A and B are shown apart, each in its own frame.
Chain A
């Protein structure tokens, strides 16, 4: 489309990790790019950019969402939590600590998405307590290093479940 009829920017505000952020974005900017390129929070990662890998997962109003498929303009007024918002006052969240305890990563690229997805599960009774339930609920987060067993164990620790296959 030529510049004469390029869509105008839209003024939106997002509450990101508790801080109100006002920005003007073209309609075709996805939340992932708004967070990384405009707000400067690069913890959230771009993997496939098509909703298949889960590296870009953030919490929107408490729910895990692929930020690569979410237009920023749609989320005007929403509450966004990225991986940078999980620690409080310099203290790792219990889930982050569990990832450390269980060595739940190798290269770490998928970890921000794993952590945000798993954060949604912590107080969610609709997801059962077995290892299989956790694996199913986390299947939208791909780990090419294959750290799944330790990721599952970390999540089970943070959820207070012993799990069947402790590492």
Chain B
């Protein structure tokens, strides 16, 4: 592994200062960063260790949601009683991501910041607009099956966003809290990750030296049920081919609120707002769910090896809505 300078930060202010003016990277759990430094895909000259920052709590907000510290580990977040009860979809998404060892180290902020799994990005040599802007995209005409998107792609990049946690957060509704050289600010979770467009190397809304401190979740929808369905090549420790986070609230059998987000198929955590709008007021039937699934995947672009993801995602959506609605009814599933 290449050499780098190391600074351990005690608070956010000293972290931002240590990061500033350097080719630096913030080091949280390191499960993506150290991997990519070993592969020489990321080449920081300084790592700023933020593991001792006091953003390690999960607090209830005045609005009835939760504020999650940037350094809360994925295992701790998934096992939190409030998350399991009020944000089942988030707990389930976390527990279906990576392996137990990785979840024990991976942090909330690090998961938001994780990089794509595209083999051409990770190999360090193939043309890749994300790694070397302007060098071309090897995936569009290459092997583009497992970790490649069908929604939000461009002529410059088709890598899928790899996170499960972020898909659940996109469905729940969340806010990213950020600090940096010019103070604190917040970014709506749905605006945080960027579409690749013609600048796939710009992946998120963070400015120079900015640091995520917390992610807050919107209050849970009263009486809703939620779930995360992840379809993949093997049943554990694998990235999604297609996944769906669904939150459904019912009045009798009529849908009063629906939240739908997709993973494995989008270049960012993909909120399916049109499908949600079409569900509200409908009866919670398989027909309505199939219609929503069709709406959600309407604009999808298939590539040579991943066209199967479009019907697969539709199935994930129907299944997730069915299960979430059953939970909203109080069925024990």
Q: Does A71 lie within 8 Å of B30, measured CB to CB?
A: yes
A64 contacts B104, C-beta separation under 8 Å: yes
Find out whether the CB atom of A27 lies under 8 angstroms from the CB atom of B34: no
**A139 near B49 (CB under 8 angstroms)?**
no
Q: A107 at interface (Cβ–Cβ under 8 A)? A: no
For the complex, give the distance between the alpha carbons of A49 and B142 in Å. 27
A27 to B33, CA, bound (A): 14
Q: Does B308 contact A (CB under 8 A)?
A: no
Distance in angstroms between the alpha carbons of A120 and B103 in the assembled complex: 13
Q: Flag whether B182 is at the interface (Cβ < 8 A).
A: no
Check: A63 CB closer than 8 A to any chain B CB. yes
How many angstroms between the C-alpha atoms of A28 and B104 in the bound complex? 21
CA distance A139 to B96 in the complex (A): 11
Whether A7 lies near B4 (C-beta < 8 A) is yes
A135 touches B5 (CB 8 A): no
Which residues in window 40-91 of B have CB below 8 A to A?
A: 45, 47, 49, 51, 75, 79
Q: A66 within 8 Å of B by Cβ?
A: yes
Q: Is B193 an interface residue (CB 8 A)?
A: no
Bound complex: CA A10 to CA B98 (Å): 31
Select which of B35, B51, B99 is within 8 A of A139 by beta carbon.
Answer: B99
> Quick one: which of A52-100 are within 8 Å of B by CB?
54, 57, 63-66, 69-71, 73-74
- Is B101 an interface position by the 8 A CB rule? yes
Q: Per-position contact with A for B114-154: 1 when CB-CB < 8 Å, else 0? A: 00000000000000000000000000000000000000000
**B86-112 interface mask toward A, CB cutoff 8 Å, 1 = contact, 0 = none?**
000000000100111110110000000
Chain B residue with the shortest CB-CB distance to A25: B6
In the complex, whether A101 has a CB less than 8 A from a CB of chain B is no
Contact with A along B1-26 (1 / 0, CB 8 A): 11111101000000000000000000
Residues of B within 8 A of A141 (CB): 99
Query: For B79, what are the chain A residues with a Cβ–Cβ distance below 8 Å?
Result: 126
Contact partners of A135 in chain B: CB under 8 A: 236
Q: Contacts A65-B105, A66-B31 known; A28 to B99 CB distance under 8 Å? A: no
Known A54-B99, A71-B34, A140-B237: A65·B5 in contact at CB below 8 Å: no
- Indicate if the CB atoms of A117 and B35 lie closer than 8 Å: no
Which residue of A27, A63, A120 has the most chain B CB atoms within 10 A of its CB atom? A27
Q: Does B27 contact A (CB under 8 A)?
A: yes
Q: Cβ of A50 < 8 Å from any Cβ of B?
A: yes
The verdict on B38 contacting chain A, using a C-beta distance below 8 Å, is yes
Residues A1 and B105 in contact in the complex (CB < 8 Å), given A74-B30, A136-B236: no
Give bound CA distance, A151 to B8, whole Å: 39
Interchain nearest-CB distance for B51 vs A (Å): 6
Question: Given that A26-B3, A54-B101, A140-B237 are contacting pairs, would A69 and B35 also be in contact in the complex, using a CB cutoff of 8 Å?
Answer: yes
Let me know if B3 and A139 touch, CB within 8 A: no
Set of chain B residues within 8 Å of A65, measured between Cβ atoms: 101, 104-105
Give the docked Cα–Cα distance between A65 and B31 (Å). Answer: 10
State whether B51 touches A27 (Cβ < 8 A).
no
As a 0/1 sequence over residues 36 to 59 of chain A, the CB contacts with chain B under 8 angstroms (1 = contact) are 000000000000011100100100
| B-chain residues with CB within 8 Å of residue A139 when the two chains form the complex | 99-100, 236-237
Residues on A with beta carbons closer than 8 Å to the beta carbon of B1: 28, 30
Q: How far is the CB of B46 from chain A (nearest CB, A)?
A: 9
Check B101–A27 contact: CB distance below 8 A.
no
Closest to A62 in B: B104
- A74 to chain B: which residues have CB within 8 Å? 8, 27, 30, 49, 51
Contacts of B98 in A (CB 8 A): 140
Closest beta carbon of chain A to B38's beta carbon, Å: 7
Contact between A63 and B38, CB atoms less than 8 A apart: no
* Interface: A164 (CB within 8 A): no
Interface string of A2-37 (1 = CB under 8 A from B): 000011001000000000000000111010000000
Chain B residues near A71 (CB-CB < 8 A):
6, 27, 30, 34, 47, 49
From B39, B47, B95, B100, contact of A64 by CB (8 A)? B100
* Max chain A Cβ within 10 angstroms of own Cβ: one of B2, B30, B104: B104
Say yes or no: B100 contacts A30, CB within 8 Å: no
Ordered by A's residue number, 7 sampled pairs between the chains whose C-beta atoms are within 8 Å are A27-B5, A28-B37, A69-B102, A71-B6, A73-B49, A138-B100, A139-B237
* New contact pairs (16) apart from A10-B6, A63-B104, A64-B104, CB-CB < 8 Å: A7-B3, A27-B6, A28-B4, A30-B34, A51-B35, A64-B101, A65-B105, A66-B31, A66-B102, A69-B31, A70-B34, A71-B30, A73-B49, A74-B27, A139-B236, A140-B101
Interface positions of B (Cβ within 8 A of A): 1-6, 8, 27, 30-31, 34-35, 37-39, 45, 47, 49, 51, 75, 79, 95, 98-102, 104-105, 236-237
